[in-house]
């Protein structure tokens, strides 16, 4: 069980030579997700050696260009690479129409199954679940309909405490599934061996919360509570709180407050406005409120094992 | 009168860390044009210090993603930069619908006038003309409807031969416009001073022909005849002539043949397939047929003064 998050892009919309709009590659519990896909994401994926073929699910937060204009290029590339596997796209309503029109007009219809999951709910909802991971939406507040995403590992079965099990000759492999499922074992003597003696607790499931773009929205705190890792946008320093309000973005201090109140383990901030030349100021400000704050930077990898 | 061509991107579609799809910035006779706009073009413009605001006309050859997926990002950026000037987009039919849908879905409608000139003709046609420059289409042959573009400086008026004019006291500034317009001057003595004595020939108008993507199509030769500068795609080396035919692309040798037959002054080749690691082979092969061949590379500038 682990999280491995690669920042592919972390700047806001205005293009600069060394700025890249939002995109992240998340490996969690052996699942591989792309989160947002600003222009140039596929080139960043090549640069940071992200395997294209591992990704089967793409989560788009909102339909501002700096979060999804790179999607169509990636989908076309999957066509060039002769992809055959299903690809699932999660994002706001409208993403299907615009994507299919672009593919049609380029005469590059996807030959692989392209499955859209269009979101419209303003409540947090479970949108993906398999045996390894769940994904829930985190309703955000921006100038257009926007969701963050909470990625959570599934609870694993208990681990066998082999040393203790070996004390009991009677217990054999046939019992292991029952033990993992939490059952006590009754010996032929009638003695009950409690499950707690035969098992070790499973590793705590990890979670990653992605929140961009959004203004300060404390009602997300219960959803992201105790996340191991939180990415929260911080477009502005605190001196631009008014501008943040107006444009429905967050400041460093607001992002840090969310992290603190949600008692997450680590905060990553990003989506820096182009007006700031020195992004270390973002870290300094956020750390006044939440010490374990890190800066998103292209190519940076955050690991939790 | 001059041509100043900056290559912003010159690779074919498959993304690589150091490859950029087609885009060129052309200054010709003090006009500023963008030709094609693959994903990431706006970032390349920043990198090579191309002024966004100078561009009022964008020419898209065809609607394959590697030639136009960067357009929507650029148009959105013009919105962020509060552009007010008209922007003209020339390209195949369909470009308007897909662009407007993308702007609508992002709720980033252009506040500046965005004027589409959709092309459908299979014959070469004059699509732009002002007092400095004309632009004609060059019908190409690719898997989808495609045009190249021929940019030609307008013929300038004749220059005044001031030394000769000064021999005639009678001729004054009031006559200059007539002289520039090619008229002879009749002196009070009845003597006719021929225009050729009073003028110097204007500098030859320059022309640039952009041809991508296309298979070998010799019927474009009359259109691009004697161009000062020709960009012609060469996706493959000659060993892949069959693949070029199949995918409707050109090889180095085919591009060079076109340049030779059209007796252009200089050939630039590009749109290299990702399969080739060493692009100098492209130059070697093309130069066997057309000596003055140069390789397109991101950031390279071709000047003609």
Arithmetic mean of pLDDT, B189-204: 92
Can you tell me the ipTM of this complex? 0.85
Q: Which domain holds residue B176?
A: 159-200
Closest CA relative to residue B149, chosen from B161, B137, B140, B159: B137
| Beta carbons of B14 and A80 less than 8 Å apart | yes
B249 and B195 within one domain: no
pLDDT per position as a tens digit, A12-45: 987 777 889 999 999 999 999 999 999 999 999 9
Per-residue pLDDT of chain A (305 residues; tens, 9 = 90+): 799 999 999 999 877 778 899 999 999 999 999 999 999 999 999 999 999 999 999 999 999 999 999 999 999 999 989 999 999 999 999 999 999 999 999 887 778 999 999 999 999 999 999 999 999 999 999 999 999 999 999 988 888 999 999 999 989 899 999 998 899 999 999 999 999 999 998 888 999 999 999 999 999 999 999 999 999 999 999 999 999 999 999 999 999 999 999 999 999 999 999 999 899 999 999 999 999 999 999 999 999 98
Closest CA relative to residue B196, chosen from B185, B204, B188, B187: B185
- Of B44-53, B169-178, B250-259, B263-272, least confident by mean pLDDT is B169-178
Identify all chain A residues contacting B107, using CB atoms and an 8 Å cutoff: 63, 143-144
B112 and B79 within one domain: yes
B271 and B130 within one domain: yes
B164 and B51 within one domain: no
Identify all chain B residues contacting A71, using CB atoms and an 8 Å cutoff: none
Token representation of residue B284: 């070697």
CB contact burial B167-189 (16+ within 10 A = b; e otherwise): eeeebeeebeeebbeeeebeeee
Contact of A53 with chain B, judged by CB distance below 8 Å, is answered with no
Q: Can you give the pLDDT at residue A218?
A: 98
A123 and A264 within one domain: yes
Give the Cα separation of A238 and A252 in Å (integer): 6
From A145, A178, A200, give the residue that closes a domain.
A200
pLDDT per position as a tens digit, B117-132: 999 999 999 999 999 9
Contact of A275 with chain B, judged by CB distance below 8 Å, is answered with no
Q: 3-state SS string over B54-75?
A: HCCEEECCCCCHHHHCCHHHHH
* Contact between residue A218 and residue A190 where contact means Cβ atoms under 8 Å apart: no
From A139, A174, A200, give the residue that closes a domain.
A200
* Contact between residue B218 and residue B258 where contact means Cβ atoms under 8 Å apart: yes
A27: CATH: 3.60.15.10
Q: Can you give the pLDDT at residue A258?
A: 98
Arithmetic mean of pLDDT, B228-233: 98
Q: Can you give the pLDDT at residue A155?
A: 86
From B142, B172, B200, give the residue that closes a domain.
B200
Among residues B66, B130, B184, B219, the one annotated as catalytic is B66
Say how many domains are in chain A.
2
Closest CA relative to residue A55, chosen from A35, A79, A76, A80: A35
Q: Can you give the pLDDT at residue B200?
A: 93
B137 and B59 within one domain: yes
Give the Cα separation of B6 and B27 in Å (integer): 9
B63 and B184 within one domain: no
Arithmetic mean of pLDDT, B62-90: 95
A221 and A121 within one domain: yes
B236 and B126 within one domain: yes
* Contact between residue B151 and residue B207 where contact means Cβ atoms under 8 Å apart: yes
pLDDT per position as a tens digit, B166-184: 999 999 899 999 998 889 9
pLDDT band at B62 (very low <50, low <70, confident <90, very high): very high
Q: How many CB atoms lie within 10 A of CB A29?
A: 18
* Contact between residue B199 and residue B158 where contact means Cβ atoms under 8 Å apart: yes
Contact of A60 with chain B, judged by CB distance below 8 Å, is answered with no
Residues 6+ apart with CB under 8 A from A260: A289, A290
Q: Can you give the pLDDT at residue A162?
A: 93
Contact of A98 with chain B, judged by CB distance below 8 Å, is answered with yes
Compute the nearest-CA separation of A158 from chain B (Å).
Answer: 43
Arithmetic mean of pLDDT, B179-191: 92
User: Does the pLDDT of residue B236 top 90, yes or no?
Assistant: yes
B140 and B46 within one domain: yes
B171 and B297 within one domain: no
B279 and B178 within one domain: no
Indicate if A66 belongs to the active site: yes
User: Does the pLDDT of residue B156 top 90, yes or no?
Assistant: no
Residues 6+ apart with CB under 8 A from A187: A168, A170, A193
């Amino acid at each position: 069980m682990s999280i491995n998050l690669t920042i592919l892009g972390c700047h806001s919309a205005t293009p600069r030579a060394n700025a890249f709009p939002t995109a992240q590659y998340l490996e969690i519990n052996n699942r591989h997700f792309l989160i947002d896909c600003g222009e140039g994401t596929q080139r960043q994926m090549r640069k940071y050696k992200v395997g294209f073929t591992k990704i089967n699910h793409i989560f788009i937060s909102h339909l501002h260009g700096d979060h999804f204009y790179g999607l169509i290029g990636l989908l076309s590339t999957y066509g060039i690479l002769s992809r055959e596997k299903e690809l699932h796209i999660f994002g706001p309503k409208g993403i299907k129409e615009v994507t299919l029109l672009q593919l049609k007009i380029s005469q590059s219809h996807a030959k692989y199954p392209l499955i859209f999951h269009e979101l419209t709910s303003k409540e947090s909802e479970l949108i993906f679940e398999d045996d390894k991971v769940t994904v829930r939406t985190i309703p955000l507040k921006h100038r257009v309909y926007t969701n963050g995403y909470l990625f959570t590992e599934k609870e694993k079965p208990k681990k066998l405490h082999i040393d203790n099990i070996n004390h009991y000759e009677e217990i054999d492999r046939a019992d292991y599934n029952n033990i993992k499922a939490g059952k006590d074992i009754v010996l032929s003597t009638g003695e009950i061996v409690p499950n707690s003696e035969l098992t070790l607790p499973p590793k705590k499931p990890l979670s990653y919360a992605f929140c961009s773009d959004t203004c300060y929205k404390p009602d997300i705190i219960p959803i992201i509570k105790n996340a191991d890792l939180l990415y929260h946008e911080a477009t502005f320093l605190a001196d631009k709180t008014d501008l943040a309000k107006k444009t429905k973005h967050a400041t460093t201090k607001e992002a840090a407050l969310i992290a603190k109140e949600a008692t997450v383990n680590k905060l990553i901030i990003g989506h820096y406005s182009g007006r700031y030349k020195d992004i270390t100021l973002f870290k300094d400000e956020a750390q006044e409120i939440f010490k374990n704050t890190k800066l998103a930077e292209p190519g940076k990898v955050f690991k939790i094992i």
